[in-house]
Chains A and B, each alone.
Chain A
Amino acid sequence: MKRTVFVILLLSLLVGIPLMILDALQKSQSQFNVPDRFTKLVVDLNTNTKADELLLERQLEGPATVELFIQSDSGSLKEVKLVSTGEILGLDGNTLDFQVGRLTGTQATAATVLLGPGKYALYLTSPKQAGTLVIGYQEIPADPKEFERLTKVHQGDLDNPPPGYRKVYSADLRGLEVQDELIFTLSPTSPQSVGISLYTSARRGTVSVDIVGGGSNWLSVISTEHRICDQMELTLPPGEYQIKLTSQDADGELYLFLKGYEEGR
């Protein structure tokens, strides 16, 4: 009996140690680059076909900004779905979908959402395939006052800029049919850090705001699906940057606020 037990333990070690080494080698050869500040979920896609399989469930006691960073080394499309019982500010429903293909190295699908208190969960739909999906997530408690302000924006009261921001443009989108209409021009003469907050209450039609210029494009900063772009910080080299609006068959309003931009500087 004693001999049998120790032989089993020895054989276990002979099997287990190579498994540990192989696992460590696999980790060291990882093509993923999730920043350290994220908590990582690693999902083996080769175990079974996944249909809305629960990956993660979290409880938010208060409003929080949730950042997601998603990478995968397999080519087939996978759908990652974030479902929240609390409100997702800036979105119509309580669900946010991500289509994830092969994204390794510096490539990733990233999102930052502001969630109300409650549970949120991540689900995965994916065919069985060789490869791994890595999801980094981070929760940062939101300032209750900021959450209250953005909730007002979310509910359609758009004239609620963050502290230090000033309104440079607003429009009633009902009946406004424009395509790439210039609504504001940024012309810094020296490198300048600019904060941009763009809100719309449009829920139908087509609404998009693009920032174009200086060799950089930020396309569809907001849309009817993502109605809030709050405090986006851009460092702009000298040049001309055009903020353009497209609105077709839309409803609601649009507000643009800026911080730190001084004309002629």
Chain B
Amino acid sequence: MKRTPAPTTSQANVLFFLTAVVTLASSIVFAPRLGIGTNLWINEFVYILLPPLLLATVQGWSLEEVYRLKDTSTRNRLLSLLAGVSLWFTAFYLSTLTRHFLDAKLGVIASEAPAAHSSLYQTLLLLLGMVVLAPICEEFYFRGFVQAAYERYSPKYGFVIAGVLFGSYHILNGLTEVVPASMLGVAMGYLVYKTNSLATSMLFHMAANASSILFGGVLGLSTASVMPSWMHFVALGGLVLTLVLLRSVDGQPQQHQPRAEEKMSPRGILFLVLTILFFLAAGAAEIAARLGVVG
């Protein structure tokens, strides 16, 4: 394997495509048999954390310098946590709006209520997976590895591309998740871009996922058939507050900036196209299911 000083877009695109395909295939096999909690752990550890970790070992990359696995100030940590909570409301609002729109225009997708799958152990695995594992593993992958690669392609807007890739990956959870997850991804990417620390995005991600459990699950927002009217204001307020919080974060952008722009190789372009086609197929499958064309 050819050694590179840092991740390239070609490496990122190949790995991203393989991760998306394998995660979906594996979930189809394991989720009904082992439970959704265990399935989440397999996805996070095996397909999301392990590949960039192995690649870093093979390539001899420093996790601190290349993946920015380093700490930040207490102030930045606190601001990241608060931003994660506040932006979750906006993301939830967008997700619900999209769901209502798709339900009205394309039909409802048949689904089983979450309670139907729960066993105590699976519930604990799911909670731990969402609040601890997913934020660490996914940030390692998307902000540590993918964003590092795309910042070589576009030093200024690499975090935006990585954020959109993060959002598009969530099409595997449903069309409704793409826009909100992209928004969260861009915000987390910005934190890492600005602070040069993966700790900020991990904490943001933890706060957002914990909010999803607390406000979405425990308070019943996720299962409410009609969105409460105050959500319109909370969603807007959440967005404004997040922008203020993100601007308030202490920046250290210069440490990872002086890189030459890298062109994307033909192989990188090919795998990016394949990934887009794969996600389009996943989206089309959901649309077909909503229209009742497939079961």
Chain A: residues with CB nearer than 8 A to chain B?
A: 1-2, 4-5, 8-9, 12-13, 15-16, 19-20, 22-24, 26, 41-44, 46-47, 50, 53-59, 61, 119, 132
Contact = CB atoms under 8 A, between A and B. Distances in A.
A210 B140 CA distance: 68
Interface residues of B, number: 40
Interface in B122-136: 122-125, 128-129, 132-133, 136
B116 interface: yes
A84 to B, nearest CB: 14
Contacts of B215: none
Contact of A23 (B38, B113, B116, B292): B38
Given A2-B70, A54-B113, A56-B112, A44 B118 contact: yes
Contacts of A56: 112-113, 116
B118 A15 contact: no
Nearest to B140: A5
A42 B32 CA distance: 11
B115 A47 contact: yes
A113 B132 CA distance: 45
B128 A15 contact: yes
Contacts of B132: 8, 12
A2 B116 contact: no
B113 A55 contact: yes
11 contacts: A1-B70, A1-B198, A2-B70, A5-B202, A9-B49, A16-B125, A19-B125, A20-B41, A23-B34, A42-B118, A59-B110
Contact of B128 (A12, A59, A61): A12
B121 A2 contact: no
B199 interface: yes
A53 B115 CA distance: 9
A46 B115 CA distance: 11
B27 to A, nearest CB: 16
Contacts of A4: 71
Contacts of B116: 41-43, 55-56
Interface in B24-71: 34-35, 37-38, 41, 45, 49, 63-64, 69-71
**Interface residues of A: mostly helix, strand, loop or mixed?**
mixed
Contacts of A57: 108, 110-113
Nearest to A2: B69
Contacts of A23: 34-35, 37-38, 119, 121-122, 125
Nearest to B112: A56
Given A2-B63, A43-B115, 13 more contacts: A5-B140, A5-B202, A16-B125, A16-B133, A20-B38, A23-B122, A42-B117, A42-B118, A44-B120, A53-B115, A55-B116, A56-B112, A58-B110
Contacts of B113: 53-57
Contact of B112 (A12, A44, A55, A61): A55
A15 B110 CA distance: 34
A5 B69 contact: yes
Contacts of A46: 120
Given A2-B63, A5-B69, A59-B108, A19 B115 contact: no
B107 interface: yes
A13 B123 CA distance: 16
Interface string B168-205: 00000000000000000000000000000111001000
B37 to A, nearest CB: 8
